[in-house]
Structure 1
Amino acid sequence: MNFKHSLLAAALILAPVCTFAQTPAPAQPTINQRKADQQQRIGNGVKSGQLTARETGHIEHQEAGINKEERGMRAQDNGHLTRQDRKTINRQQNKESKRIYRDKHNARVR
């Protein structure tokens, strides 16, 4: 009987530990990675002639605005972004991603 109780106690102690040992979910791409990916897409569009100089300038201007806003957000919170800040930047990056796609596929050539 004593063995059963100690086995049960050990199982109860180890159960929560085993749940923490699970593999974490893959992390979301960081803001910096998205910036790099979008810059690469812009570069590819320029190289292939899918983006005109005007389209590229407008996209780069918008990207610079997002970067400036991010720097301001980080300055307010000692170099960190709040959850709301990340959501705001993510929305802005989504909008720019759609603009890059639209401009690359609008049949204008340089």
Structure 2
Amino acid sequence: MRLKTIVAVLFATAVSLPALAQTASTPRIDQRQANQQQRIDQGAQSGALTEKEAARLDKGQANVQKMEDKAVADGKVTAKERARIEHKQDQQSKRIAQQKHDRQQDRDHDGKKDRPARKQ
């Protein structure tokens, strides 16, 4: 009886250790994704982004997330994969800034929003 318990524990340990070792962690990428999504949401609420702009930026964020998911799928994010993801995040960040400050909501340039903010 005792031998069966020991064998079962050893087997469970042997099976679970590789699974634990394969979890790739990308906290910096995840945090940046969250920050960029927050910037998009804030821009949509304040009216700095139109609905189309916000939807387009959300789609870009989803593409970056897809890249990250693919990189993590094999259990290890290589330096090359990380660099590609970070480059895409840089591009996305630049797009967010451009779209938030393009004054599309203030067409007559009087400092007042011409269109109402996006409803959530």
Picking from 81, 89, 92, the partner of 1:93 is 89
Where does residue 49 of structure 2 map in the other structure? 51
Please list every run of at least 4 consecutive aligned residues from structure 1 whose deviation after the TM superposition is greater than 6 angstroms. none
Q: What is the CA distance between 1:66 and its match in structure 2?
A: 1.1
Q: What is the CA distance between 1:43 and its match in structure 2?
A: 1.1
Q: What is the CA distance between 1:49 and its match in structure 2?
A: 0.2
**Structure showing greater Rg:** 1
- Which structure 2 residue ranges, 5 or more long, are not aligned? 1-26, 106-114, 116-120
Computed over aligned residues only, the root mean square deviation of the Cα atoms, in angstroms, reads 1.3
Deviations 1:7-38 (A, max 9, x none): xxxxxxxxxxxxxxxxxxxxxx7001101110
Separation in structure 1 between the aligned mates of residue 95 and residue 84 of structure 2, nearest angstrom: 17
Separation in structure 2 between the aligned mates of residue 65 and residue 105 of structure 1, nearest angstrom: 23
Percentage identity across paired residues of the two chains = 40
Alignment of structure 1 residues 1-110 onto 2, 5 Å: 30-75=28-73, 77-78=74-75, 80-109=76-105, 110=115
- Which structure 1 residue ranges, 5 or more long, are not aligned? 1-28
Q: TM-score, normalised by structure 1?
A: 0.69
Q: TM-score, normalised by structure 2?
A: 0.63
The structure with the greater share of residues assigned to helix is: 1
